[in-house]
Structure 1
């Protein structure tokens, strides 16, 4: 009997140690959503929604947007920096005073690139300007979904805490239907600034307790919005089920 008690006690201690070890990985689990709106000075009349589901060190991103420059590549990223304001920039961030915002000027608001929302291949900040792997916005719309994106502990935690921002880049200041102009990009002098200036932006927010955070409607993309809402509901249900299981397991342990 004493041997059995010692083994049971050791098992409980081992389980407690394991819980402490794996606990932080589960702390980042959750989902966040954003309402994408035009960046001040961009002259973009578009809108959109984005949702990110976090599971440990893996994220799934779903995004729909419209009103963008048609048939041109639009780089899109998740941004974060500890020192950033974790929000979209305002025209007050226009340090050059030219009435528009480039990516660097928006940095104090949304931070650095932490995830590149490419359609294929690498998703790290190294692919921030991989123009050939971003959506070209056919007809001015983007419908994006990609899962199994690996991120660091810090990025997963920042996203799940609602401290990151989704930014879609690419504007048409001179209204000629393409990326052009004499002003060069602050990120790559081989590109015009129109190709990399922020167009749409939305801060990713945590869903309120007991409800769903759905953001705003997206004109012309009702089906995609429905998909985002449905997936969000599934994520909440899964989270609730996981919590209930943990509670039952805790009760059995105490018993």
Structure 2
């Protein structure tokens, strides 16, 4: 199991903590009370990025690192190991689990509204199709009536 201090040279120090509420500074990085938890988690929060994080996004060097391993999948020795960042926590709680790079284009929203089309049809093709369908229904109804009359006579 790799600790955060072992991974630090590869992905750098915390720039912004993706906390569920409150503090988003690096200081909140080990505060489990504001961390998302569980086997599946959706993160949706709006906050202002600090200048260093914004510059990292622009430069293409920003990464997201998710910390926390499932203790049930670890050996007994790994489950008992303490975090080198916060000795009161297990190593599994602060170890990196996933890492991915971010690109500034992911943060850019398109300008203007969504292009959804330009109104109703103006050619009248729908009316012609409706009339054709009504004609077929009338013809089918007439055929059924004639067949019933012939069956009743014969």
The TM-score, its normalising length taken from structure 1, stands at 0.39
Give the superposition deviation at 1:191.
0.9
| Alignment match, 2:118 | none
Bigger-Rg structure (1/2): 2
Secondary structure at 2:79's aligned position in 1? coil
1:118 alignment partner, one of 6, 16, 19:
19
Secondary structure at 2:7's aligned position in 1? helix
1:146 alignment partner, one of 45, 57, 60:
45
Q: Answer 1 or 2: which has greater strand percent.
A: 1
Superposition CA RMSD, Å: 2.3
Point out where structure 2 has 5 or more consecutive residues left out of the alignment: 113-154
| CA distance in structure 2 between the partners assigned to 1:113 and 1:135 by the alignment | 16
Whether contact under 8 Å (2:62, 2:101) holds in the other structure is yes
| Alignment match, 2:145 | none
Give the superposition deviation at 1:200.
1.0
Secondary structure at 1:191's aligned position in 2? coil
| CA distance in structure 2 between the partners assigned to 1:150 and 1:202 by the alignment | 18
Point out where structure 1 has 5 or more consecutive residues left out of the alignment: 1-99, 208-212, 214-231, 240-255
1:112–1:149 Cα change, 3 Å: same
Secondary structure at 1:200's aligned position in 2? strand
Number of aligned residue pairs: give it. 109
| CA distance in structure 2 between the partners assigned to 1:238 and 1:104 by the alignment | 41
| CA distance in structure 2 between the partners assigned to 1:189 and 1:114 by the alignment | 22
Whether contact under 8 Å (2:16, 2:49) holds in the other structure is no
| CA distance in structure 2 between the partners assigned to 1:128 and 1:185 by the alignment | 13
Whether contact under 8 Å (1:116, 1:128) holds in the other structure is yes
Give the superposition deviation at 1:173.
5.2
| Alignment match, 1:248 | none
> Are positions 1:155 and 2:59 aligned together?
no
Q: Cα deviations across residues 66-125 of structure 1 (Å, max 9, x unaligned)?
A: xxxxxxxxxxxxxxxxxxxxxxxxxxxxxxxxxx21111111111001101111111101
List aligned pairs for 1:84-233, cutoff 5 A.
100-137=1-38, 140-151=39-50, 153-172=51-70, 175=73, 181-207=79-105
Moved over 2 A (4+): 172-176
| Alignment match, 2:131 | none
Q: Answer 1 or 2: which has greater helix percent.
A: 2
